[in-house]
Chain A
Amino acid sequence: MTDATERLVNLALYLATTRVPVSAEAIRADVAGYPAGQDEDAFLRMFERDKKLLRACGLALDVTDADGVPAYRLDPAGTYAAEISLTETERAALHAVAAALATDPGFPFGDDLAIAIAKLGGAGSETVVAGGLTDEHPDMQGALAATLAEAVASRKRVTFGYTNAAGDARTHEAEPLGVFFRDGRWYLVARDIERDDVRVYALRRMTDVRVDQRRPGAPDFEPPDGFTVADYILLPFQYGPEAVDCVLRFSAEESWRAPRLVAGQGRLDPADDGSLLWHVEARDLGRLAAWMVEHGPGIAPVAPDALRETLAAGLRKVVARHGG
């Protein structure tokens, strides 16, 4: 008896070799693996699933009308990839990310990554050793991130239990808009339906995540116009009630680090002396002052005065506590 894997490969080969579009009935007759004696509805359901799976493999199917009946064949232009010429350096980079992440349980798209690299002709790398994208509950975070990324893509509502940093637990119903990874942890950006507000949730604090299974294939919501998950990836000092416009200076010697450190937040303006002025919104001046020290040297406050005073007061306290 032909198994499902065999049937799918047979179908792919058949659609790739047929010279003219073929009907579902012809496919049923010619492709090994469709059960004999299967009723029409069962066959059509199986054939629909098979087409969907082949598309998920990257195959593009051309559907035409043949005397009122759909007919199918492979679309070569949509299926076959253009020749890609990678340099040795680029190939090494691809191998490294594949070797590090394809089997990392904290990376939610490992299986897809392995196939992607295989299609690009890649292989593993002996120079990469196991590490870990996430440092807490990698299996849980990776699996949840995969589930939620699918819910984002298919625009399906989700419900989940959530315990916030203050220890308050409740159930949320939300429209998932994006997922992001930061500093070893995965996060969901979603519109909380009851509160009608877009919030960020840490996956490690979630329990009992369920994707709405009603109306499969039909989206439950439309994301807001212009939504981008990057707008919700903030630096630690950007959480709080009141926004304050701040200006910091990266010295000329340290200016090369600025684009990496500012993580896309605010605006970097070059000054005549080679330094960079960073205009950024902060909501917690204490945490911004701490951030400046942690990522220094070469980062100085320019405005407002309250930032400079916060930093100075903190430094005096450090000196006093350490016998200065």
Chain B
Amino acid sequence: MAARPTAAARARRLLAILPRLEPNAEVPLASLAASVGAAPEELAADITTLSLCGVPPFDPLSLVDVYIDGETVVVGMGAPALDRPVRLSPAEGRALIAALETAGFVPTDPLLAKVAAALSAEVDPTDIAAHVRTASAEGGLGDVHATVMSAAERGESIDATYFSAGSGRTRMRRIRPLRVFVERGVWYVVGYDEGLAEERTFRLDRMRDAVPTGERFERPAGIPDIEASFRPSSAPHAADVLLDDASGAEERDWPGATIEPATSGTGARLRVPYATPGWLARRVVASLGAAEVVGPAEARAAVRELATKLLAELEGGDRTEG
């Protein structure tokens, strides 16, 4: 059961929504509650409290004129003051900057520059950046992120230049973005790949760019199951992998894998699900000989071919600094 919010927390969210209580407006209770992270019943109680608030002489003209009618917040004359947006406090500013940073917005992004105008004078973005960092990738993903989110909300397809870790190739994909989620600090979009004619999951930090096409699509009924489209346990194949040293073997490094100690020595035996052997091969080759695919043959061959190719490139490669 969630902890009961403190009086300070209730007051803060009421002061945050005051500007949205425009005179003679009717606002759905659920959306107003969601906008401040409260349950509708919690906000309903808060609105009742708010209707008792005001300034001297506390007559009907000097109270906050608002009440609940079923699922709707009904506003009469509104509030006697504080009906304009208030600046973000230091804690709120830190939260917003940290959240946007997870999505790849760097301090120089135009969105952060705009948001800075809403910050309290006590908020120092430089100081926040020196003490709290949440970026999963540098290099400014804000533009890609915003384009994908906006297209998903509008139901508009995008052309994305996408790097596939499985194939190692970068190519254009036309995607109908359906759902977005964040996992381990990485943002993903589940979308319908028009070229492949199937749903795929794409990492936003592997999109070089994303451009809206202007083509609208009907969003399918129901939410795509990210468990099915993202979770590796749903992958169609599985490989048996031996690790020489089990001490660093974690499921997070071999998504969806089952890990068992080897019958002898310090190693481990993994059962690793995979969709295409490209990703698995690169992962095993990156162990530089400390892991071995036992089977199936196609995965074992993929590892051998990738290592052979990389070795050939290395031995014939450029050694100059340009």
* Residue positions of A touching B, CB distance < 8 A: 2-6, 8-10, 12-14, 16-17, 30, 32, 53, 55-60, 78-82, 84-86, 88-98, 100-104, 107, 109-136, 149, 152-153, 177-184, 227-230, 233, 247, 249, 253-254, 256-257, 259-264, 271-273, 275, 277, 286, 289-291, 293-294, 296-297, 300-303, 308, 310-324
What would 9 more interface pairs be, CB under 8 Å, given A184-B184, A253-B170? A10-B53, A82-B118, A84-B114, A100-B182, A104-B182, A109-B98, A130-B181, A314-B288, A315-B307
How far is it, in angstroms, between the C-alpha of A277 and the C-alpha of B310 when the chains are bound? Answer: 19
Asked whether, in the complex, the Cβ of A293 is within 8 Å of the Cβ of B318, the reply is no
Instruction: Provide the residues of chain B in CB contact with A277, threshold 8 Å.
Output: 321-322
* Residue positions of B touching A, CB distance < 8 A: 7-17, 19-20, 31, 34-37, 46, 49-50, 52-56, 58, 64, 79-82, 84-96, 98-100, 102-103, 105, 110-111, 114-115, 117-118, 120-121, 129-142, 145-147, 149-150, 152-154, 163, 168, 170, 177-185, 187-188, 205-206, 208, 223, 226, 252, 282-289, 292-293, 300-301, 303-304, 307-308, 310-311, 313-315, 317-322
Asked whether, in the complex, the Cβ of B86 is within 8 Å of the Cβ of A98, the reply is no
Instruction: Provide the residues of chain B in CB contact with A314, threshold 8 Å.
Output: 288-289
Asked whether, in the complex, the Cβ of A319 is within 8 Å of the Cβ of B149, the reply is no
Asked whether, in the complex, the Cβ of B184 is within 8 Å of the Cβ of A135, the reply is yes
Instruction: Provide the residues of chain A in CB contact with B135, threshold 8 Å.
Output: 263
Asked whether, in the complex, the Cβ of B37 is within 8 Å of the Cβ of A114, the reply is yes
How far is it, in angstroms, between the C-alpha of A55 and the C-alpha of B139 when the chains are bound? Answer: 35
Asked whether, in the complex, the Cβ of B95 is within 8 Å of the Cβ of A109, the reply is yes
Asked whether, in the complex, the Cβ of A3 is within 8 Å of the Cβ of B7, the reply is yes
CB pairs A–B below 8 angstroms (23 shown): A4-B11, A12-B81, A13-B64, A14-B56, A17-B81, A57-B11, A81-B85, A81-B88, A93-B100, A95-B149, A101-B99, A109-B95, A115-B12, A129-B181, A131-B181, A135-B183, A177-B131, A181-B136, A227-B130, A229-B131, A302-B318, A313-B288, A324-B308
Asked whether, in the complex, the Cβ of A127 is within 8 Å of the Cβ of B180, the reply is yes
How far is it, in angstroms, between the C-alpha of A245 and the C-alpha of B152 when the chains are bound? Answer: 44
Centre residue among A100, A152, A320 by max chain B CB count within 10 A: A100
User: Given A9-B50, A103-B37, A127-B179, are A56 and B91 neighbors across the interface (CB < 8 Å)?
Assistant: yes
Asked whether, in the complex, the Cβ of A259 is within 8 Å of the Cβ of B180, the reply is no
Instruction: Provide the residues of chain B in CB contact with A53, threshold 8 Å.
Output: 8, 11-12
How far is it, in angstroms, between the C-alpha of A291 and the C-alpha of B149 when the chains are bound? Answer: 31
Instruction: Provide the residues of chain B in CB contact with A230, threshold 8 Å.
Output: 129-130, 133
Instruction: Provide the residues of chain A in CB contact with B80, threshold 8 Å.
Output: 13, 17
Centre residue among B36, B100, B131, B153 by max chain A CB count within 10 A: B131
Instruction: Provide the residues of chain B in CB contact with A55, threshold 8 Å.
Output: 89
Instruction: Provide the residues of chain B in CB contact with A90, threshold 8 Å.
Output: 110-111, 114, 146
Instruction: Provide the residues of chain B in CB contact with A254, threshold 8 Å.
Output: 170
The 7 A-B residue pairs with the shortest CB-CB distance, nearest first, are: A314-B288, A317-B289, A114-B37, A259-B139, A109-B95, A184-B184, A4-B7
Asked whether, in the complex, the Cβ of B37 is within 8 Å of the Cβ of A111, the reply is yes
How far is it, in angstroms, between the C-alpha of A311 and the C-alpha of B313 when the chains are bound? Answer: 12
User: Given A58-B92, A249-B318, A275-B322, are A122 and B35 neighbors across the interface (CB < 8 Å)?
Assistant: yes
Asked whether, in the complex, the Cβ of A318 is within 8 Å of the Cβ of B289, the reply is yes
How far is it, in angstroms, between the C-alpha of A290 and the C-alpha of B310 when the chains are bound? Answer: 12
Asked whether, in the complex, the Cβ of A59 is within 8 Å of the Cβ of B86, the reply is yes
Asked whether, in the complex, the Cβ of A95 is within 8 Å of the Cβ of B153, the reply is yes
CB nearest to B180 among chain A residues: A128
Nearest-CB distance from A170 to chain B (Å)?
Answer: 21
Instruction: Provide the residues of chain B in CB contact with A13, threshold 8 Å.
Output: 53-55, 64, 79-82
Asked whether, in the complex, the Cβ of B13 is within 8 Å of the Cβ of A115, the reply is yes
How far is it, in angstroms, between the C-alpha of A178 and the C-alpha of B88 when the chains are bound? Answer: 21
Q: Which of B49, B79, B252, B307 contacts A184 (CB 8 A)?
A: B252
Nearest-CB distance from A315 to chain B (Å)?
Answer: 4
CB nearest to A17 among chain B residues: B81
Nearest-CB distance from B51 to chain A (Å)?
Answer: 10
User: Given A13-B53, A127-B178, are A294 and B283 neighbors across the interface (CB < 8 Å)?
Assistant: yes
How far is it, in angstroms, between the C-alpha of A119 and the C-alpha of B83 when the chains are bound? Answer: 11
How far is it, in angstroms, between the C-alpha of A94 and the C-alpha of B97 when the chains are bound? Answer: 11
How far is it, in angstroms, between the C-alpha of A4 and the C-alpha of B5 when the chains are bound? Answer: 12
How far is it, in angstroms, between the C-alpha of A34 and the C-alpha of B303 when the chains are bound? Answer: 74
Q: Which of A119, A134, A291 contacts B86 (CB 8 A)?
A: A119
Q: Which of B84, B85, B179 contacts A120 (CB 8 A)?
A: B85
Q: Which of A112, A182, A303, A322 contacts B303 (CB 8 A)?
A: A322
Asked whether, in the complex, the Cβ of A86 is within 8 Å of the Cβ of B114, the reply is yes
How far is it, in angstroms, between the C-alpha of A58 and the C-alpha of B99 when the chains are bound? Answer: 19
Nearest-CB distance from A320 to chain B (Å)?
Answer: 8
Q: Which of B14, B110, B205 contacts A5 (CB 8 A)?
A: B14
Instruction: Provide the residues of chain B in CB contact with A263, threshold 8 Å.
Output: 135, 137-138
Nearest-CB distance from A269 to chain B (Å)?
Answer: 9
User: Given A80-B84, A319-B307, are A9 and B53 neighbors across the interface (CB < 8 Å)?
Assistant: yes
Instruction: Provide the residues of chain A in CB contact with B183, threshold 8 Å.
Output: 131-132, 135
CB nearest to B289 among chain A residues: A317
